[in-house]
Amino acid sequence: MSATVTEEIRLERLDPASRSASTPASSLGHGGGDEDGQGAVAAIDGSREQLVSDLAPIDGGRKAWTFVFASFVFETMIWGQSYAYGAYQNYHDHDVRSALYGKASPAATSAIGTLVIAGQHFVPLLTRGFFRTYPHLIKRVALGSIALSSLSLLAASFLEAHVAALLVFQGILYGILSGVTFTPVILWLPQWFDERRGTASGIIYSGSGLGGTVFPLLVGKLLDGVGFAWTLRIVALVSFIATSLAAMLMQPRLPIVTAPSWPRQTVVRRLLPEGIKAMWSTPFAGVGEAIIFCQSCAWCTISLYISTYTSSLGFNATTATGILSAFNASATVGYLSIGRLIDMTSYPFVMGASTLTCSLAAFLLLGFSHSLPLLVAFVLVFGLAGGGFTTFLTPLSTDLAKLNSQDLGTIYLALIFVRGTAAVGGPLVGAALYDEGELGNFALYGAHGFRDVIIFVGTGMIIACGLAIAAWLLRRKWMAAST
């Protein structure tokens, strides 16, 4: 690295005014640095070096918002599909045309969607070491994963009568491959946005709400019109085209470093997840993780079972799909509003307000839901208040990185891993609590065997609210001590 470049970086760190054409401090420090391919300077074509002043602007500009748009498309196609799995489950459980109708239990069919969400949450952290060691392969691997994930759905379309095969192809493989596909968004977002990262995250993550709104309607129409097999084939084709085009638009802000020839032992060590000691080093970290876990357990249970609950009330498949779409549509607004609030106020306070509202909605609206208007009110309130909760991972991981001088990207992926654990565990607990024997029982509270599920969801949210208050107090204490 030349002395001129070193001086540029030094001056950038000292002069915040230069940030319009610089890289964020979170990408320069916290243990990630140049070895992640996220340093401020990199070798290009083996001979030239790029100055910090040559980089695209941060927190705005055509290239930054192009990245946001491409990431939004990724989010819409990848996470939107997983959040729309309730439409498939409702088809398998209640439509006689399904090859699994009467042959597979609701727990088995719901496990397919759970495995998709699990793979999407777990894989980014597990592949972090690989992309840290070989950053020049990030985009190529993502493009390969796009193709393979579409092929896995295509394979599942020919095995619709075998629940075990669907668990493998539509569940495990698709979840893993789509998790790999989404990795560039997670790794490159901190390069493009710093002070406006909450807003950018909200826009990107609102794609899951949009996808979760459109895909249930699309999948429901296709299932009714062409059946399960052709529905998967059409979805696979649409997903392949849209995500491939988005991948072409997606670029990192910082130059990619070509990986050196690492010794074998060094490669093995670098491939393992590291730099996550911040996850258990302070009480604030533990409280933050507990908030994410409790909220996600409750949220993912509702996301997976809201269509089933609607059908249990006697409404047809079209209405059940519409309720799921309304739920995800309100979540889209939640992403945008919460992302903006994060940039304006203390995020633990917003966490507490979000989870408290969701808890009250579960206990009071869903618990007494026997009619469509009350059910619609629940999904709108619950989705609006809790839909943007993933956006909180950005400021939380930033705080943990600052507290422990750790890599921001790794901590963010670790928080996603925590959320994935809850996304798997929550619906499994919900499946155990759901009493199918009570189907047809119009109880005053928690009808049709869903009473314990509703109590589980409401309790999880109220615990998360209490923890958010604790996080707010701990963060105030930490910030006061650091000033």
Contact partners, residue 450, CB within 8 Å, separation at least 6:
305, 309, 312, 434
Assess if residue 21 is contained within a domain. Answer: no
Q: Residue 467 — pLDDT band, cuts 50, 70, 90?
A: very high
Count of structural domains, the chain: 1
Angle at 415 between CA 412 and CA 419, to 5 degrees: 140
Give burial (CB, 10 Å; 0-12/13-18/19+) of 96. exposed
Q: Can you give the pLDDT at residue 293?
A: 95
| pLDDT per position as a tens digit, 172-197 | 999 999 888 888 888 888 888 887 77
- Can you tell me the distance from the alpha carbon of 70 to that of 389, in angstroms, rounded to the nearest whole number? 21
State if pTM tops 0.85.
no
Question: Can you give the CATH number for the domain in which 135 is found?
Answer: 1.20.1250.20
Q: Is residue 325 assigned to a domain?
A: yes
Higher local confidence (pLDDT), 262 or 464: 464
Q: How confident is the model at residue 469 (pLDDT cuts 50, 70, 90)?
A: very high
Least confident interval from 98-107, 246-255, 281-290: 98-107
Instruction: Kindly state whether residue 54 falls inside one of the protein's structural domains.
Output: no
* 4 domain-assigned: no
**In-domain check, residue 49:** no
Residue keyed to tokens 């819409």? 76
Q: What is the mean pLDDT of residues 406-425?
A: 84
Number of neighbours of residue 290 by Cβ within 10 angstroms: 18
What pLDDT was estimated at residue 27? 36
381 found inside a domain: yes
Task: Note whether residue 192 is domain-resident.
Answer: yes
* Segments forming the whole domain that contains residue 78: 62-482
pLDDT tens figures, 50-95: 555 578 888 788 888 999 999 999 989 988 888 778 788 888 887 7
| Residue at 406 is within a domain | yes
